Chains A and B, each alone.
Chain A
Amino acid sequence: MQIIERLRAAFQSGVTAPLQFRLTQLKSLLSLLEDNEPQILEALQKDLAKPKFEAVLSEIDMVVNDLCYTINSLPTWIQPSYVGKNLATKLDDCFVRREPLGVVLIIGAWNYPLQLILAPLIGAIAAGNCAILKPSEISRATERLLAQLIPKYLSQECFAVICGGAEETKSLLENRFDHIFYTGSQAVARSILQAAAVHLTPVTLELGGKCPCLIYGRLDMLAAAKRLVWSKFFNAGQSCVAPDYVLCTPEMREELLPAIAKALSIFYGSQPKQSEDFSRIVTDRHWDRLMALLGKTQGRVVMGGEGSKEDKYFAPTVVVDLDGSDALMQEEIFGPIMPILTIESLEQGITFINQREKPLALYVFSDESQVVNMVLERTSSGGFCSNDGIVHMTLPGLPFGGVGASGMGSYHGRWTFETFSHRRGCMLRGWGLERISMLRYPPYTESNLSWLRWATSAKKKSWGVCSVIELLHFFFAVIYLYTYTEYISI
C-alpha cells in the first residue's frame, strides 16, 4: 500500500526521531483541538447526539490533558534509564533506551470517536513513530472531520488517516506494521491478532466485556446511586467501562431502586427524551439490538423501557428479577439498560464475578473497607474503582487496559509512550581489564570458573549500584588478577 510505503520511508529517514519534531507535532495536535472545538462538538453531536458537557469532558479535555502531560514529561521519558550491574561489569555503562518501533496502526472506535483514536496517537508521536489512523466508519462525522484536520496540522509524510469499513480494514491488516493498537470488540480482536501473527506484530487490544458493579454493606445509598447512574448513563451507556450490571442483596435493592429513580430525575428530569444532557444510540442497528435484548429478557422492567427509533432515543432502563442465564447477561450491553441481580452474600457475588470473563473494570460501592479489600483481592479486572465509576481512567498515572478477554496491553500518559516504544537493553564496554575477561575463555579451568561465578552472581546485600564493599571486592579482584596471574603466566 502506497501510503504505508511513504510513511515507512519517512520513518527510515529519521525525521520522527528528534525530540523537537515530536514536540512540534504534539503541539500542533493541541492546536488542532483548540482551534476546532466547535466543529468537533458538532461532529460528536451528529454522531451520537453527544451533549456538550460529555463531549468536552470525555473527549476534548481528556486528550488535551494527556497532550499537556506528555509534552511536559517527554524530555524526561526519552532519557536512557541506567541500571545496576554485577561485579564483572562494574566499569561498563548499562542502560535502557526507548526507541521508536516504526509505522504503527491505530484503529479507533465509535463510542468516543475522538479520544479513542487521538489518545493512542499522542503516545505514538511521543515515542517517535509514524502512524496510520483508521477511525471508526460508524461515527461518520468525526471520521470525516479527522480525515480533513489531521493532514492540516500534522506532517503528511508521517501521519495519515485512512477511512473505510470492514473491507478496507481487512486489506490494511495484510500489510506489515510495527505495532497495532485496536479498540473495539473481542470478535474483531481475534482476527486482528491473527493478522498480526503473520508478521509477528505486537498488539494492544482495548476490548470490553461486562463490568460488574457490586453494592454491599454500609453505605450512603443516594450518593452511590448518583455515581452509579452518572457512570452508567453517560454517553447513553455506550462506554467500555460503564458498569454493565449491578449485584446487591434484595434488601439493598429496595433502597437502591428509589435512589436510582431520584438520581435519574435530578439528572435528566421526568422526560429524559427532552433533556439535552442525555445521548442517543449510535446507529439503528444498535438501537434494534438493545430493543431485542429487552424483548428477550426474563426480567421485569421497572424503569424506562421505551424508545423511539427515529431519533435513536432509548430511555434509561432498569431491569430486575433476572439471573445469570438471562439474555441481558450473555453479552456486553453497551446501552442504557441496567440489570440488577440479587445475591445472598458477598461470597456469592464474588463467585458470580469470577465465573465470568475478566472484565475491563470492576466497581464496588461500600463504606466498609473490608468489603472493598475482599473484592479487590479475590477478583481480577483491567482496572478497579471503589465508590465511583469510570473516573479511574481519567488519571494519567494509571495504566488503562484489560486482562484476559477484556484486552492486552495498556495506555494513557506514560503508558502510551511505553506501549509504542522498544526498550532496548544497551551495554557499553571498554577495552581495558581484558585480564578479567580472560577468566571466561577456554581452555576452561575450575579456578577461573569459581572466580567468574563469584563476579557475576547476585550478592546477598546490595546497597545500590555501587556500594563500598562491592568496590573493595572489585579492586581486590583486579589487583589479584593482575599480580597473581601475571606471576603465574611467566
Chain B
Amino acid sequence: MEKQAVDGARRAFNSGRSRPLQYRKQQLSALLRLIRERQAEIVSALKRDISRSEFDTPIFELIGIENDIKLAERNLADWMAPQPVKKTLLTITDDVYIKAEPLGVVLIIGAWNYPWSLTLRPLVGAIAAGNAAVVKPSEVSKSSASLLKELLPQYLDTEMYPVVTGGVPETQELLKQRFDHIFYTGNSTVGKLVMEAAARHLAPVTLELGGKSPCYIDKDCDIAVACRRITWGKFANCGQTCIAPDYILCHPNIQHRVIEEIRQTLLEFYGEDPKTSPDYGRIINQHHFDRLLALIEGCTVAVGGESDKSQCYITPTILKDVLPHARIMQEEIFGPVLPIVTAGDVNEVIRFINERPKPLALYVFSSNKKVVRRMLNETTSGGVLVNDVMVHYTINALPFGGVGNSGVGRYHGKHTFDQLSHHRACLIKSLAMERLNMARYPPMTPSRLRTSMFFLRSRSGSCDQALRAWAVVSSLLRYSDIIVICFG
C-alpha cells in the first residue's frame, strides 16, 4: 500500500505535470481553499486530538500555512526564474545562472502537536518547488490524520500528493522506498532512524527536531512583562510545542518574584481552576501523561502539581530550585511543567547552555544590550528571540530550523522552496570565440599558461566596472584576432 502510493507519486512526477507554474499555483490555491473552507472541521479534530482551544488553532496552525501559500503564490514566478551570477573574464559573453528545479518525490512525516501546520507547511514548499509528495501525518493525532486523509484528495491532485496513514510499521515500510528528499518533524531518536534510512538511497533530509529550549531571565529586565510572555508561550497547547520555553535560568534572588509573576499571570489566563478553562489544553495521551508525572517526581513544586489521569490533565506547574542533574533536565519536557534552575551570573548561564546540546530556540529576557550581545555571540541555537517567546516562528522570512541535535536544514516561506529544490548551476556557452580558448589547450607553453591565468584569475576587490568595460571590448573584438596577437 505504501509502495503503491510512492510509485504512483513517482509516475505522476515523471509525467511532468507538477512543473509548470500554472499547476503549482492551482494546487496551492486549492490548499488555501481547503484550510479556509474546512476550518470548522479542522478545529473540531484538534479539539478531539489535543483539546486545543478553537482560538489557538487559527493563530498557531492555520495562519502560518496561509501566509506561506500567499507568499508562494505572489513570488513563485520569481523564485522559478533563473538567478544570474557573477562571471569571470573568460565567460563574460556567456549566460551564467542558477536554476531552481524540482527534486522528485518528497516524503513528509508530520508530528502530532501541530498536526496541520507541521504537515502542510512543508507540503506548500514541496508543491511550490514542483515536486510530488507523499504525506504521512502522525498517527498519534488520530482525528487530524483521518481528516487530512479525507480532505486532501478532495482538493489536491491525489496521485501527486497521496496521504498515507498508519503507525510505526507503515512508516518503516515507507522509509524503505526511495525518495528524493525526506522531511521529518519529531524527536531526535526517530530523526536518527530517518537519516539512517535516507542514507541507503543517498537521500537528503530535513529534520525538525527539538530539545530543551532555555529561557534566561536577566535581573535587568521588566520581570512582569517577561513572565507574562513566558507563561503564554509555555502553557499554550499545554506546553506541547517544540519551541516552548523548556526551562528558566535566573539569579536565585529573583526566583521568588518570577514564580509569583507567573502564578499571577496563570490566574489571569486560566482562572482559579485551569481544568474548567476552555483555553487550557490536555496532554495528548496516557503515555505522555505518565512520562510527565514521572519527571515531576523528586522536584520541589512551587505552583500546581495536580493532575487528573482520566482527562490527561496536568495543572500548570512550576518547579523551583531544580538541580542540573535532575531527571527533568535530561530530556525535552514537552508539557506544562516549568522548572527553574538558578545561576549566579551571565557567565554561568552561557556555560550551562553551551555544555548542553544545541537547542532549537533560545530565549533571553534582558534590557541590558551587553548581556543580549554576549548571549547572541557566545551561544548557538536554531533560532533566538530576545524579550519574548515563540513569535519568531511567525516571520516566514526567518529560516526556521535547528542545529546539531535540534535538527538539520530549515524552512518556512521561501526557505521551504529552497530546501526542496535543486539549485542547478548552468553555464550556457557558444562555440564561437574559439581563438580565446586556444590558450588552455595542450601542447603547453609558458606563454599559453600566462594567458590562461590572466583570464581565469580572480581580481582583488570587486571589479564589476572592469568586467563591464571588458564586456564591451570583447564584443568589439569578437571577430578579430587582436587578442591572439597580443597574448598568443
- Residues of chain A touching chain B, judged by Cβ–Cβ distance below 8 Å, are 12, 14, 17, 51-53, 56-57, 61, 64-66, 68-69, 72, 83-86, 88-89, 94, 96-97, 99-102, 178, 186, 189-190, 193-194, 196-198, 200, 202, 205, 207, 219-220, 223-224, 226-227, 230, 266-269, 275-278, 365, 367, 372, 376, 380-388, 391-400, 403-405, 407-410, 422-431, 434, 437, 440-446, 448-449, 452-453, 456-458, 460, 462
Whole-angstrom distance between the alpha carbons of A65 and B427 in the complex? 19
Partner of A392, one of B196, B207, B392, B427: B427
Of A14, A267, A423, the most chain B CB neighbours within 10 A belong to A423
B295 at the A interface (CB under 8 A): no
Q: Is the CB of A197 within 8 A of B431?
A: no
Contacts of B448 on A, CB cut-off 8 Å?
53
Known: A277-B443, A399-B425. A434 touches B225 (CB 8 A): yes
Q: Is the CB of B395 within 8 A of A382?
A: no
Interface size class of B (residues with CB under 8 A): 35 or more
Can you name the residue of chain B whose Cβ is closest to the Cβ of A189?
A: B202
B66 at the A interface (CB under 8 A): yes
Contacts of B70 on A, CB cut-off 8 Å?
457-458, 460
Q: Is the CB of A275 within 8 A of B442?
A: yes
Q: Is the CB of A380 within 8 A of B429?
A: no
Contacts of A399 on B, CB cut-off 8 Å?
98, 423, 425
Shortest Cβ distance from residue A264 to the other chain B in the assembled complex, whole angstroms = 10
Contacts of B469 on A, CB cut-off 8 Å?
none
8 A Cβ contacts from B189-211 to A: 191-193, 195-196, 198-200, 202, 204, 207, 209
Contacts of B53 on A, CB cut-off 8 Å?
442, 444
B301 at the A interface (CB under 8 A): no
B252 at the A interface (CB under 8 A): no
Whole-angstrom distance between the alpha carbons of A202 and B405 in the complex? 10
Contacts of A367 on B, CB cut-off 8 Å?
430-431
Known: A387-B431, A437-B229. A200 touches B269 (CB 8 A): no
Shortest Cβ distance from residue A89 to the other chain B in the assembled complex, whole angstroms = 6
Contacts of A460 on B, CB cut-off 8 Å?
70
B381 at the A interface (CB under 8 A): yes
Of the stretches B113-121, B327-335, B454-462, the one at the interface is B454-462
A-contact 0/1 string along B77-94, CB 8 Å cutoff: 000000001111011000
Partner of A200, one of B207, B221, B367, B394: B207
Q: Is the CB of A404 within 8 A of B392?
A: no
Q: Is the CB of B395 within 8 A of A85?
A: yes
Q: Is the CB of A385 within 8 A of B98?
A: no
Q: Is the CB of B458 within 8 A of A69?
A: yes
Q: Is the CB of B444 within 8 A of A51?
A: yes
**Contacts A/B (CB < 8 Å), 7 sampled:** A89-B395, A178-B404, A193-B199, A398-B425, A399-B423, A422-B380, A456-B59
Contacts of B305 on A, CB cut-off 8 Å?
none
Whole-angstrom distance between the alpha carbons of A442 and B280 in the complex? 9
Can you name the residue of chain B whose Cβ is closest to the Cβ of A367?
A: B431
Known pairs A65-B456, A89-B395, A399-B423 / 13 extra A-B pairs, C-beta < 8 Å: A200-B188, A380-B422, A381-B424, A392-B426, A396-B86, A400-B425, A404-B104, A407-B202, A423-B401, A437-B388, A443-B279, A444-B53, A453-B58
Q: Is the CB of B449 within 8 A of A267?
A: no
B30 at the A interface (CB under 8 A): no
Contacts of B459 on A, CB cut-off 8 Å?
68
Partner of B270, one of A51, A102, A193, A442: A442
Q: Is the CB of A275 within 8 A of B443?
A: yes
B354 at the A interface (CB under 8 A): yes
Contacts of A388 on B, CB cut-off 8 Å?
427, 429
Q: Is the CB of B192 within 8 A of A226?
A: no
Of A69, A442, A453, the most chain B CB neighbours within 10 A belong to A442
B434 at the A interface (CB under 8 A): yes
A-contact 0/1 string along B38-71, CB 8 Å cutoff: 0000000000000001011011000100110011
Contacts of A462 on B, CB cut-off 8 Å?
74
Partner of B269, one of A193, A372, A391, A443: A443
Shortest Cβ distance from residue B294 to the other chain A in the assembled complex, whole angstroms = 26
Secondary structure type dominating chain A contacts: mixed
Q: Is the CB of B458 within 8 A of A442?
A: no
B247 at the A interface (CB under 8 A): no
Partner of B55, one of A226, A277, A397, A449: A449
Q: Is the CB of A94 within 8 A of B277?
A: no
Q: Is the CB of A385 within 8 A of B429?
A: yes
Top 10 A-B residue pairs of the complex, sorted by shortest distance between their CB atoms: A397-B85, A193-B199, A425-B398, A444-B55, A83-B397, A277-B442, A197-B195, A397-B86, A392-B427, A398-B425
Q: Is the CB of A442 within 8 A of B199?
A: no
Secondary structure type dominating chain B contacts: mixed
B428 at the A interface (CB under 8 A): yes
Known: A12-B354, A422-B380. A94 touches B403 (CB 8 A): no
Shortest Cβ distance from residue A347 to the other chain B in the assembled complex, whole angstroms = 13
Q: Is the CB of B427 within 8 A of A398?
A: yes
Contacts of B385 on A, CB cut-off 8 Å?
426-427, 429
- Residues of chain B touching chain A, judged by Cβ–Cβ distance below 8 Å, are 53, 55-56, 58-59, 63, 66-67, 70-71, 74, 85-88, 90-91, 96, 98-99, 101, 103-104, 180, 188, 191-193, 195-196, 198-200, 202, 204, 207, 209, 221-222, 225, 228-229, 232, 268-271, 277-280, 354, 367, 372, 376-378, 380-388, 391-392, 394-401, 403-405, 407-410, 422-431, 434, 437, 440-444, 448-449, 452-453, 456-462
Contacts of A398 on B, CB cut-off 8 Å?
85, 96, 98, 425-427
Q: Is the CB of A196 within 8 A of B66?
A: no
Shortest Cβ distance from residue B18 to the other chain A in the assembled complex, whole angstroms = 13
Q: Is the CB of B452 within 8 A of A57?
A: yes
Q: Is the CB of A85 within 8 A of B209?
A: no
Whole-angstrom distance between the alpha carbons of A409 and B419 in the complex? 10
Shortest Cβ distance from residue A190 to the other chain B in the assembled complex, whole angstroms = 6
Whole-angstrom distance between the alpha carbons of A299 and B387 in the complex? 71
Contacts of B423 on A, CB cut-off 8 Å?
399, 410
Whole-angstrom distance between the alpha carbons of A442 and B200 in the complex? 48
Known: A190-B200, A397-B86. A53 touches B444 (CB 8 A): yes
Partner of B437, one of A226, A267, A434: A226
Of A186, A266, A376, A403, the most chain B CB neighbours within 10 A belong to A403
Partner of B461, one of A72, A99, A424, A448: A72
Known: A57-B456, A65-B456, A275-B442. A422 touches B59 (CB 8 A): no
Whole-angstrom distance between the alpha carbons of A267 and B441 in the complex? 7
Q: Is the CB of B453 within 8 A of A386?
A: no
Whole-angstrom distance between the alpha carbons of A12 and B414 in the complex? 33
Contacts of A51 on B, CB cut-off 8 Å?
442, 444
Whole-angstrom distance between the alpha carbons of A256 and B96 in the complex? 27
Contacts of A448 on B, CB cut-off 8 Å?
55
Whole-angstrom distance between the alpha carbons of A397 and B101 in the complex? 18
Contacts of B193 on A, CB cut-off 8 Å?
197
Q: Is the CB of A193 within 8 A of B394?
A: no
Whole-angstrom distance between the alpha carbons of A452 and B96 in the complex? 44
Q: Is the CB of B444 within 8 A of A427?
A: no
Shortest Cβ distance from residue A268 to the other chain B in the assembled complex, whole angstroms = 6
Partner of A395, one of B96, B222, B403: B96
Whole-angstrom distance between the alpha carbons of A200 and B408 in the complex? 8
Q: Is the CB of B277 within 8 A of A72?
A: no
Shortest Cβ distance from residue B240 to the other chain A in the assembled complex, whole angstroms = 16
Shortest Cβ distance from residue B59 to the other chain A in the assembled complex, whole angstroms = 6
Contacts of B180 on A, CB cut-off 8 Å?
404
Shortest Cβ distance from residue A479 to the other chain B in the assembled complex, whole angstroms = 21
Shortest Cβ distance from residue A474 to the other chain B in the assembled complex, whole angstroms = 15
Contacts of A422 on B, CB cut-off 8 Å?
380, 403
